[in-house]
Structure 1
Amino acid sequence: MEYYNKMLCVTEAELINGSDPVMKKGTLKSNLFRKNIFCVCRGGGEGRCALYSFDSMPKKYRERFMEKYGNPEDVLREREMRKTVKYDESARTFFEEYEYFKNGEYTTLDKELIAEYTTNASVLGELVRMKMERKAMMASLNARATDVWEMVLQNSEELRERYHHTLPASLSRLKARICAFQKDGYESVVSKKLGNVNTIKITAEGRDVLVALKRSHTPRYTDEQLFAKYNEIAVFRRWKQLKSVRSMQAWLYSPKIEQLWCDAVHGEQVARQRFGRKQSTILPTRRDSLWYGDGTKLNLYYRDGKTVKTINVYEVVDGFSEVLLGYHISESENFEAQYGAFRMAVQRSGHKPYEIVHDNQGGHNKLNRQGKKNTGDEKEKGFLDRLCHIHRPTMPYNGESKTIESIFGRFQQQVLARYFNFTGQNVTAKKLTSRPNMEMVAANRDKLPTYQELCELYAQCRKEWNEAKHPKHDSSRMALYEGSVNEDTPAVGKYEMQDMFWIMSDKPVTFTDSGIKMTIDKKHYHWEVVTVDENGVQIPDREWRRLHTWEKFYVQYDPMDMTTVNLYSIDRAKKLHFCTVAKPYMQIHRAMQDQSAEEKARIHADIERGKQERIERVVAGRTIAKRHGTDPEQNGLNYPKLKGLTAEQQQQAVDRISRLEGDNYAEVVELGQHTKKLSNIGWEEVLYDERKTADKL
């Protein structure tokens, strides 16, 4: 860069060279052709290059040039000064570190003042040197002292044209500045207007009063009212009054002062976001390292009859690839929505995530609590505990730190906003394209999708997002996700899916004579334990019912498939034990007209099995009673007949009881009789427990 015909010019090399050029060569040629940049000198010849007018360059290129090289005028001034006037590095260091008191605080000089004062100090040093040389020479010629100062003034004006210093143009004032420079050094160069005590009109107590009034809520003051109130107080306390609202605002809204009242005026969260330090984080480098789960409004209108509605969606997103893994559409962000979205995500991924980050919604606590077994152990793992290594909530009231919010925003802008039923983004969005066209929605109310059509449309939009190019990679989001491997996130098997996604009931349920009944999400369910007969037909398991009816069980169920549940008993140590599997309670038609031949046969068979069960139950009980002499017929009473049994079945019960009467249950105590009894017993009558015998060996 240089001056050419009093014009500031730059070279082609300065514009296009380097790894980060001001502009590319093609751009320079294009601007020259369009006359956006003027060529002052075409160059040619040895050591001569083309020069372009700096002031003719478009503003953005001038700013980019100054960012790279600095202000050309300052650079050339320093360059020229180094040729004739010695650039004073000590002066530059002094002014870089110089501080002065302004508006109640110490501050440093700005860059323009530093450059101006350094130039003035360097020129003053040169003028002092010239004065001493001229003074010695003039003394040898018996010249007047005034002639020396006149030559110094002349030299100063010559240097002004070259270095653009701001020293006085009059001889008396220049003489005073040089004398002050010789006496006080660099300090004399600084303007006395900087930090002048007369400019400080607000005392320390007055500043506190301004801040206190700004924080006031009873009443709240506008800046104009605050200005008037302060001057009113200033008159009473004999302070200097403020002259303008603008000067008061310049102090009041400075960053150091604004921190003292921002929380009271705008809220502490606004103050925290405005003045608190933000973390700079690095995104995951592999799939399934971090999943985000969050709910938001599904930004598409749909129609329900004649009503226009919106609905919510809960999404689970992979932090590495931005793939939308799982979702659930519902009226609110509740446990069911979170459960469904995470289940779909695991099924789609086939792997457990290493970490899950979610917000502080209460549904997540229920989601984790639902998975815990009712053992009373606080360390027992819940649903989210088993789903990943780590799960944690995001920092509350810190939405800008959530990566999923950024993904939602771009998904809405790039995909959902293309549909006429777009609801717009957040109400704080400033772009008109981020807001809905309510006139179009109202005019096409009948063309809005139904709820089912909305679900299909949203699934299509998610697919489009997943298959689109990732903003920081060359492949699509889905290809990036499927091409990545995370060795710390194992694949999920059948039993792990059951452990993670089957839910245990909060309380035990009694298995009654009508099986087990439960109400889940306002839906009634009815199960029983079944088995198969010799023909492979499914029938109620009466043997299991005989042993466990009226016992209490915890029910483990799959919310997506309620046709099979697991029953768990709990022991005194609060440990759960698997008992059996229950299925929907078997039902029959009440009206015979509706019954098929197979159903009629099954009904009659079940009734007969019920009668046999009654007989077995009575026989077993009376057998015990007869052994101990407590049966009614042993004590002069009649045992009532079983109601509803045929004569043949009644006789069967009587015969089985009668056979018990012939058995002698009295103990033989005489030695002769005991010996006779033993001699009549054959080996075929000896029964023993092989397991107990083996245990004794």
Structure 2
Amino acid sequence: MPCISENIICVTVPELEKCSLALSTIKIGLSRQRQGLVSCWEHHKIGNTVYIHFNSLKDKYKEIIQRELCGGLPVEEWVRFNTIRELLPPVSQNEKEELSNFTITRERVDVTSGEISTEERTKLNDDYVCMLLYQARWFRLMHKDVYKYNHNTLKRLKVTGIKEFRDICITLANNPTPEFPDGAKLPKNYNACHRRQQEYEKEGILALVSGKFGNTGARKVDDERLQVLIDLYSDPHKPDYVRVTKLYNEIVLQNEWTIKDKPAVISESCVKYNLNIPEVMQVWYLARHGVQAWKNLFGYTILRYRPSTRDAVWCGDGTKVNLFYITPSGKAAKLNVYAIVDAHSGYWLGWDISEESDNMGSVQRAFRMAVIRSGYRLPFQMQYDGDKSNNYFKRLTTLHFPAMPNNGQSKIIERCFKNLQDQHMRYADGFTGMNIKSKNINNHLNEDFIESLYKDNSLKNKQETIELQEWFLHVVNNTPGKDGKTPKEKYFGSQNPDTREIVALDWINMFWEWNENECVYAKEGISWVENKIKRVYEVAEGYEFDFKNDQLPERYTPDCDFACKYIRQKFYIRFDPLNRSRVALYKEEADNTRRFVAWALEKDRMAYAVQDYKEDEKAEINKRLTIKKEQQKRAKQKREAAASLMNSEEIMKLGYKFYDKATLSAAEADLYGEKTEPIEEKTSTPKKSRKEYLKERRDKLNNKL
């Protein structure tokens, strides 16, 4: 940087190189100056450093130096400012210790009891301490002894008096620096700053501490009137300090409240000061901003460590899929994901992605995936929000507990979602940004970039976006953490002997659903209509459901015994929402409980035309025809058995069929004991022809005439 050397403003060779001057140009100029060929490169050398005289350079070089090295200031003024800044003394360690040991006292009012107590603080704010030490350095620099000691140097810089010197110091002190963006905040008025300097020289650095620290003189509100302020500011309409001050002062005048025979009106700053006392703030914050906001700021929290083993706690929650995708109507971001993570390892166990937000079906599918990926183990505890979609977890009875709704601090999965979005998903082209309430601009959406992707048709479609979201979940599962282990390695490297493996009954209770009404098992099987689709099932011989590896037989034999026994009876159907190829049949008992009866498979459809027969289909048709004949044969055999029983000698002694013996005897006596008249047989006359009928009618008419 330009400096004073031999009482001349000079620059060095490296500084000229920073101004984009070529080294060869500088060397040629210096060489020609030494040879007496030019006079614009005057310089002198001290040690190994060459100092080039600024005033001897050409105007074009002066302008470059002024612009590049002096920030646009004239070089003489820049050198003056820089030289004075270099005179700034270091921080005094004694003053630093004095500030750190400074005790502040402040009166506090207990809003519940009205008692006034004295609060002691043992240290000032660290940033404020740094500011005070910075101000003290400038006040020491402006001392008259410092000016006298550096009089000759300042005279060369054309600083003619101590007042001018102090004006320059005030300007430099209030200029922003990397450590103090607002400067030292010294009074800009010379007289005010000089008075402050005199206080510092007389009383020491504690004189610079603002009176607002420990000063309770500004509070003119007693406990009763403080309650009025709290009530005004607690309004959920959220009035500002100006309106609260106006309303409060109107109440003061109406009630004739006074202090020292004067109306006890207060200023806006006094209102702000009283309402922002932490004890008071806790009172109005709840009513003004709501329970959730109050909890986030004042609610007591418990520090907890992660579970020590896998499957101790599973956390479930839903969120938006922060990815844009293309739809027929344009771009959209309507996808939601419900996911379940293991709290011990952070391993994403299960998820479901759809346009439906946190519905029971989505929760069920995600939990089903988690159970399968865990090796068919159930968690010791399940943590989730208390919304209606999570009513599904009530099926798990002792295996669930709800987290505090909308309280991210109580759920590990919230931090997992943040890591997923912040560390991985933000690098996807269609990323929508994170929470719109985030104050960090890096979490906000660049709408111009998304619009350019949309115009270039670079966004993915819905199915590709679902696959991308699943890919990110797998990426997180395989990303090493600070300990060098991936969530997958942590999860499968742990064992939890206190959890149990599920059985078929658990699987059905958790993931199968009931139909609404009872269905009749008819001759064609049991039929069930769902969403206008008719499904027909029948019980097969030897089939048993295996929830881990359910293999449906390609060909099966209908259970003829079941059909004969339960024909025309009603059953409730329980089905798997993801696989309706087999169902479970339940009968309702007298106590309204449902008893499992049998498994039923979706009924095979056989070809009607011989030409459409597939391999072995004719044999299957014959098998079913044989079953049909067998069913009819069984019915006949049972009928014959019943008839033989009715025709037995023991039954005949009682009477014939449905009449007792006394009734039959009376009927026979009446039938055979009475004489009956012979019934005359009616003779039928032959039917006349139409010709004869017309002739007879004509003759009758002639006779009348």
Q: Same fold (TM over 0.5)?
A: yes
Correspondence list, 1:288-687, <5 A:
288-309=311-332, 310-332=334-356, 333-350=358-375, 351-368=377-394, 382=395, 384-385=396-397, 390-445=399-454, 446-471=457-482, 473-491=483-501, 497=507, 500-503=510-513, 508-519=518-529, 524-531=534-541, 538-572=556-590, 577-590=595-608, 593-596=611-614, 599=617, 602-603=620-621, 606-607=624-625, 609-610=627-628, 613-614=631-632, 616-618=634-636, 620-621=638-639, 623-625=641-643, 627-628=645-646
The separation in 2 between residues aligned to 1:561 and 1:412, in whole angstroms, is 33
Pick closer, same or farther for the CA change 1:318–1:164 going to 2, 3 Å: same
Change (3 A) 1:70 1:544: farther
Give the unaligned 5+ runs of structure 2.
1-86, 125-199, 258-262, 543-553, 655-705
Q: 1:464 and 1:230 mapped to 2: Cα distance?
A: 59
Q: Quote the residue 1:286 is aligned against.
A: 309
Identity of aligned residues (%): 27
Shift of 1:552: 2.8
Is the 2:218–2:270 contact (alpha carbons within 8 Å) kept by the matching residues of 1?
no
Distance in 2 separating the partners of 1:304 and 1:112: 60
Kept after mapping to 2: 8 A contact 1:101/1:195: no
Report the CA distance between 1:527 and its aligned residue: 1.0
Evaluate the alpha carbon distance shift between residue 314 and residue 628 of structure 1 in structure 2; reply closer, same or farther with a 3 A threshold: same
Secondary structure of the equivalent of 1:565?
A: strand
Q: Distance in 2 between matches of 1:101 and 1:298?
A: 49
Aligned-residue offset at 1:554: 3.7
Q: 1:269 to 1:457 in 2, by over 3 A?
A: closer
Deviation at 1:288, TM superposition (A): 1.3
Change (3 A) 1:615 1:392: same
Distance 1:108-1:596 versus aligned 2 partners, 3 A rule: closer
Contact 1:321 1:478 in 2 (8 A): yes
Instruction: Tell me how far 1:579 sits from its aligned partner.
Output: 2.9
Contact kept, 8 Å, 2:346 with 2:487, in 1: the verdict is yes
- From the superposition, tell whether residues 491 and 615 of structure 1 become closer, same or farther in structure 2 (CA, over 3 Å): closer
Shift of 1:439: 2.5
SS at match of 1:396: coil
Quickly say closer, same or farther: Cα 1:202–1:612, change in 2 above 3 A. closer
Contact 2:426 2:433 in 1 (8 A): yes
Alignment correspondent of 2:275: 252
1:576 and 1:54, CA in 2 relative to 1: closer, same or farther beyond 3 A? farther
* Runs of 5+ consecutive residues of structure 1 not aligned to the other structure: 1-52, 79-91, 114-159, 168-190, 369-381, 630-662, 670-697
> Residue deviations 1:279-336, cap 9 Å, x none?
2111111111111011111121222334323311111101011111111112221222
Give 1:528 shift: 0.8
Q: Using a 3 Å threshold, how does the CA distance of structure 1 residues 499 and 268 change in structure 2: closer, same or farther?
A: closer
CA change 1:452–1:55 in 2 (3 A) is: farther
- The 8 Å contact of residues 313 and 330 in structure 1, kept in 2 or not, is answered as yes
Change (3 A) 1:604 1:55: farther
Which range moved further: 461-470 or 331-340?
A: 331-340
Q: TM-score, normalised by structure 2?
A: 0.58
In the alignment, the residues of structure 1 paired with residue 596 and residue 294 of structure 2 have an alpha-carbon distance, to the nearest angstrom, of 56
- Inter-partner Cα distance in structure 2 for 1:479 and 1:527: 44
Task: Look up the match of 1:46.
Answer: none
- Does the CA-based 8 Å contact 2:99-2:206 persist in structure 1? no
Mapped contact 1:335–1:367 kept (Cα < 8 A): no
Q: What do you get for the CA RMSD once the two structures are aligned? A: 4.0
- Per the alignment, residue 211 of structure 1 pairs with 230
Cα distance per residue 1:643-688 (max 9 Å; x no partner): xxxxxxxxxxxxxxxxxxxx7666799xxxxxxxxxxxxxxxxxxx
Taking structure 1 as the reference length, what is the TM-score of the superposition? 0.58
The answer to whether 1:201 aligns with 2:220 is yes
- Superposed CA deviations along residues 186-229 of structure 1, whole A, max 9, x for unmatched, are xxxxx9x9888x75522444322222222346x76322122122
- In structure 2, C-alpha distance between the alignment counterparts of 1:521 and 1:402, rounded to whole Å: 38
The one-letter code matched in structure 2 to 1:341 is A
Larger Rg: 2
Equivalent residue for 1:632?
Answer: none
